[in-house]
Amino acid sequence: MIEPLVEAHHLTKHFGDFTAVDAIDFSVAKGEAFGFLGPNGAGKSSTMKMIGAVSPITSGTLSVLGMDPATRGADIRARIGVVPQEDNLDNELTVFENLLIYGRYFDLPRSVIKPRIDELLNFVQLEEKRDSKVDALSGGMKRRLTIARSLINEPELILLDEPTTGLDPQARHILWDRLYRLKQQGVTLIITTHYMDEAEQLCDRLVVMDKARIVAEGSPTHLIQEYSHREVLELRFPVGVQETILDRLDGLAKRLEVLPDRVLLYADDGDAVMAEVSARGLQPETVVTRRSSLEDVFLRLTGRSLIE
Amino acid sequence: MTAPALRVYEVHVRAYRRVWRGSVISTFFSPVLFLLAMGIGLGQLVDANGGSESLGAVSYLVFLAPGLLAATTMQTGAGDSAWPVMLGVKWAKTYDAALATPVRTDDLVYGHLLWVTTRLLLVAVVFTIVMAFFGAVSMPWGILAIAPAVLTGLAFAAPVLAFTAQLKNETGLTAMFRFGITPLFLFSGTFFPVSQLPDWMEPFAYLTPLWHGVVLTRSIALREPTALAWWVHASYLVGLVIVGTLLARRNLAKRLRS
């Protein structure tokens, strides 16, 4: 049994009377891409700050790279990379200078940093922007630069807090591709996200967090199998009609979820259920049959959507 | 001083390299303008009306210049610990970025104060050169005034760093300058001896840190003894640096490592 890279038991964080993280247990193995999925305010960022040896834990135990963040914070931080939720690049400096000063914070000699900057700019496709001021970069470029910056010390573990929040779909896909390559190189990733597609794309294993607690754990496929059914039939009825026909959907699906604007029917075969719906004389305005996703898992576990 | 603190200092130097021309020019022009307008312009009026008797038998220019040197380093020290620190802790969160590396909050404090010391040295040296040009200080002894001027600036930089570190927004900084730094600039013996103040105000002037900085800098520049021993003034200022540094360490850790 290999010792886990990060291990937490009853990890808890209080801010005054507020409990941000409530006695959670998890462990992350070397080379794994591990996710914290949950809505805003679930306690994901607080957990990340404790793992990153920035925020002290309130109670429980936490070990990162085999060390205790309370006593060996600087040693831990020397060996991890952090991509924070909010960009905190130095806007007054150029792309190159941002990477250089960050390398200096790690006390790396310039002769080591400079060739590494060239490699990293190539990796995040920002070579042409080397001497541009950070101010002039797009949101997606800034994120990529932040990722390059987090790699300047060749970390064994990277913490990514909401890495693609606020980016357009194209920029997100570029970023996912780079993160996937890192994973291929054997770097351990810990990612927080409230996007289920991001979690499905990137994470080998994840925990679902809600209200400071972990409510489920497993691989994306495992979670979907365990907490949902294979397919979902989404029916949208004209305004005012949905309430009147709900009783006519009884017994059609393995599970029924009523949202304000549509009804979700969970089943192994969505099309078969749709045939039944038509047979009962119901005519929804729109019909979508799709595979179950982590969004459905979250809905099942908490009764709420991920993005509200 | 730890290695990460030196790295923090290095980053300040690098950022300054982008703006050093404009900074040095304004560092140079500020004393030129003040010494022209107040030292020579107003000074002629003061000297012609027998003012130099209450100034200790020196011309107004010679009286004013070292006081203005200390008041200038105060403004530099306070200013550099105000908006740039707000940028680091709140607006750009560059302090958070540094804290994700082996750098600790204490390193940010030491690196910042070391950098401010460099800035103060630069300001004081340029100011002293300008003073020498105006004949407001005799050389080479006038060079010694740089040391108390830098100390005065630090006696503001450290407490202001502690103050800014816990501020939620910049209105506190504007208030600090309006109700703290500007009144000190005007009433701490820079432009006239505090003995000219109404009697009830005089004791308050003795409590202000700038008064100690001005008196110390002036006595060293003019090579004249002060009423109180020099080490009383120096200790007061050193005390402010120490207390300010300790509070800055505490406040920054509380803010960024919670």
Q: Which chain B residue's Cα is nearest to A100? A: B11
Tokens 């886990």 sit on residue = A4
Tokens 């994120």 sit on residue = A143
Tokens of A290: 């799709």
Handedness of CA B37, B40, B45, B47 (dihedral sign): positive
Size of interface A-B (CB pairs under 8 A): 70
CB contact under 8 A, A102 and B101: yes
Q: State the pLDDT at residue B126.
A: 96
- Show the low-confidence residues of chain B (pLDDT under 70): 1
Q: Is B99 on the interface with A (CB under 8 A)?
A: yes
Q: Is B103 on the interface with A (CB under 8 A)?
A: yes
User: Considering only CB atoms, which chain A residues are within 8 Å of B18?
Assistant: 92-93
User: Considering only CB atoms, which chain A residues are within 8 Å of B101?
Assistant: 77-78, 102, 105-106, 153
CB contact under 8 A, B11 and A104: yes
- Show the low-confidence residues of chain A (pLDDT under 70): 1-2, 306-308
Nearest-CA distance from A106 to chain B in Å?
A: 6
Q: For testing the chain A interface, which of B101, B107, B254, B256 should be mutated: the one with the most A CBs within 10 Å?
A: B101
What letter would DSSP give residue A9?
Answer: E
3-state SS, one letter per residue, for A217-278: EECHHHHHHHHCCCEEEEEECCCCCHHHHHHHHCCCCCEEEECCCCEEEEECCHHHHHHHHH
Neighbours of B48 (CB within 10 A): 10
Q: State the pLDDT at residue A260.
A: 86
A51 close to A128: Cβ distance less than 8 angstroms: no
Q: State the pLDDT at residue A165.
A: 86
Nearest-CA distance from B49 to chain A in Å?
A: 52
Q: State the pLDDT at residue A308.
A: 54
B206 close to B121: Cβ distance less than 8 angstroms: no
B37 burial level (CB within 10 Å; 0-12, 13-18, 19+): exposed
**Domains, chain A, ranges and CATH?**
6-221 (3.40.50.300), 229-291 (3.30.70.980)
User: Considering only CB atoms, which chain A residues are within 8 Å of B102?
Assistant: 74-75, 77-78, 105-107
Q: State the pLDDT at residue B139.
A: 85
Closest CA to A142 of A160, A129, A156: A129
What letter would DSSP give residue A2?
Answer: P
Query: Helix or strand or coil: residue A15?
Result: strand
Look at chain B and count its residues: 258
Neighbours of B33 (CB within 10 A): 10
Q: State the pLDDT at residue B1.
A: 57
Residue B239, domain extent: 3-256
Distance between CA atoms of B47 and B219, rounded to whole angstroms? 20
Q: State the pLDDT at residue A190.
A: 98
Nearest-CA distance from B122 to chain A in Å?
A: 22
Overall domain count for chain B: 1
List, in order, residues 6 or more apart from A222 with CB less than 8 Å away: none
In A, what residues contact B, Cβ < 8 A? 15, 52, 54-56, 73-75, 77-78, 82, 84, 86, 88-93, 97, 100-102, 104-107, 149, 153
What letter would DSSP give residue A133?
Answer: B
pTM for the model stands at: 0.92
